[in-house]
Chains A and B, each alone.
Chain A
Amino acid sequence: MSEQSTESAAVEQPPPVDETARVEAAAAQAAEHLAPGRRFGLPRIREVRNLGLTGVLAALVVVGAVTKPDQFLRLDNLILILTLASIIGVVTVGMTFVIIGGGIDLSVGAIVALATVWATTKATQGYGIGGIVFTALAVGIGCGLINGLLIAYGRMVAFIATIAMLAGARGLAIQISGGHTQTVNAKNQALVDLGYKDSYLLGIPPLVLIFAGVAVVGWILLNRTTFGRHTFAIGGNLEAARLAGIDVRRHTLLLYVLSGLCCGVASVMLVILTSSGASANGNLYELDAIAAVIIGGTLLSGGRGTLFGSVLGVLVFTTISDLFTLNNLSTAAQQIAKGLIIVAAVLVQRRAELAERTSS
């Protein structure tokens, strides 16, 4: 896409001869990227991209309805799928921002592990529910801040910096917990009670409401604010974004802090759901989140993507898991299906995208 626009710019203007012209051309390109008008062209492609994934989800629902009609098509099963999707879903929202911004965060699972452990130590629990929530959020933001500083200001490759965080945070989680599963004590039971039916609001679990809230705020942030437009601009063309006057380093830092914050929120939710914190929590979350973002139609190289697609991606994976347990199938079969669906979803998207391009 960016190549195309460079070409069109080159046709209209004489080729840049000196440095000033080059800068102006790049700035013009970035400005075009930032212009609200340009987004009118995108929704159509986005819809088609998500259509493929919606199709996959619909197919899964049909399979569920045919194989286990009594258990699958029930309201409490829908609530179960949404509840199980809520935690990885919140992590995926943060991951979507990072990937659209041209980065990657491999440390999300380890941050969740560390945050749940740190938030459930005896010392933290002594401060009550406020202490638990504060600690989980602070650990998430803190880890994101370290990632962001290393990547944006330390000029480290995101892949390396976050892999270092993955190892470090998981190790620290094991160190602090000593391998124990730390359960929430009786004094803080009210937090765990949020996971029980009595706490449902209008029949919806609070965890699902948190997920919905995070997704909506994320969507607004990404699609209706300068922050969101800058995220697309940086992921699309870093140099152009810089020349257009975006503080690229500060923005990159904020993207990782945002991802860390999402991990912190997810950690609080995980403590509510499992009544405990453990160093084994969030195992392979990074891969689940990245897979959901990618099948949701976001470019791994950045610059383009949708939050709606990522949420759909998470729902697809959670529905598969539910479907397989309902049908008493093995974990191995489930993993094979997951792999096939990733490939199928991406292939469908590519076809849809090609069709869209040739028709327009």
Chain B
Amino acid sequence: MTTGSGVPRRGFLAGASLLGVGALAACTSNADNSGSAAPNNNAQNAANAQPGKNVKVGFAGPQADHGWLNAINLNARNEAKKYSDVNLVITEGSNDAATQASQIDSLINQKVDVLVILPADGKQMTPAGRKAMDAGIPVINLDRIFDSAQSYRTWVGGDNYRMGLNAGNYIAQKLGGKGTVVELAGIDTLELTRQRTQGFDDALANYQGIRKIGRAAAEFNVQTGQARMAELLQAYPQFDALWNHDDDQGIGAMQAIRQAGRSNFLMVGGAGSKTAMDQIKADNTVLKATVLYPPTMAASAIRLARLLGQTKGLGDLAEQEVPASVTLFSAVVTKDNVDKYLPLSFE
């Protein structure tokens, strides 16, 4: 009907939308995100630090859709760069067990010397680990543990139970063994959430005057963190301490706390994000501490992979070999020691 005026108008619209897209595209940049990396421990055995035989390390991890997982990849990459004798082959992360299994197959075919695997799901990836071991490639199982010890040479990972334990003990001590506690957990269907809660409950059970009055499960993201925390604050007009399992969802939880205008309790976080540590350092919010689940474990895994490839032991142990299992400690980061841990935090 309006062919005459339709064309120029369409042209104008197309031009305008192109302009819009161009302006938008410029907005995707997140430059100047500085990466975190493990510092070189001076305590490391000098002999081990010397360049040795070249080691080709394969790394397969899940999709980095969480700040912590992102830091895992970054730590692995940066650590490998420090050694002239390490050649890191890293796969595109995937949360799909089948995809990850095929990526591991491909790394086996590329004849890597050592494999570092952070499985999307420990149980499902057990056969893939076993396959690599059978092919004569030592596997370092990172964090999410395989079902069978035959599927890995060495396991390196965090301790979710102790994370809860340390959070519980810190809170109980801060409260002087007396008070009420609320817990904001992570995804309830995950084993690690149950372990964290178990550790937390076990620690609190040591103190007769401490009572956990409420618990809600968010989903490790800001949105659910905000929602569940807002509901918890409504449910409990008065409590003395809060443990939040995850600093990423803690950003949302902190918003809910500010929105409710509450500040009469002590908050402890989990995992160790940069945002959380900055707040602990500034000491102007309810957040006074966070319990680490260190992403530097990926850097440690690369070091262990290198030592395995060069058939060396750990410097500070008397043993000739790398241990079969390394469980990391979940340190409590407070204002007093935050400077030491800030470089290890993740964004």
Contact = CB atoms under 8 A, between A and B. Distances in A.
A183 B235 contact: no
A305 B225 CA distance: 33
A127 B24 CA distance: 11
Contacts of B30: 121-123, 176-178, 180, 182
Interface residues of A, number: 52
A131 B26 CA distance: 12
B255 A195 contact: yes
A74 B237 CA distance: 12
Contacts of B65: 174, 179, 279-280
Interface string A31-72: 000000000000000000000000000000000000010010
Given A197-B261, A278-B223, A118 B230 contact: no
Q: Which 6 pairs across A and B sit closest by C-beta, in order of nearness?
A: A280-B221, A325-B231, A179-B70, A124-B27, A123-B29, A179-B64
A83 interface: yes
Contact of A122 (B24, B31, B215, B230): B31
B105 interface: no
Given A181-B222, A196-B259, A280-B223, A274 B252 contact: yes
A278 B28 CA distance: 13
Interface in A256-312: 270, 273-276, 278-283
A131 B29 CA distance: 14
Contacts of A122: 29-33
Nearest to A328: B214
A155 B118 CA distance: 42
A105 interface: no
B27 A325 contact: no
B227 A84 contact: yes
A281 B222 contact: yes
Contacts of A178: 30, 33, 64, 70
| Chain A CB within 10 A, most for which of B17, B27, B214, B237 | B27
B347 interface: yes
Contact of A176 (B28, B70, B226, B235): B28
A84 B259 CA distance: 12
Contacts of A328: 213-216, 235
A331 interface: yes
B232 interface: yes
Contact of B217 (A135, A139, A279, A330): A330
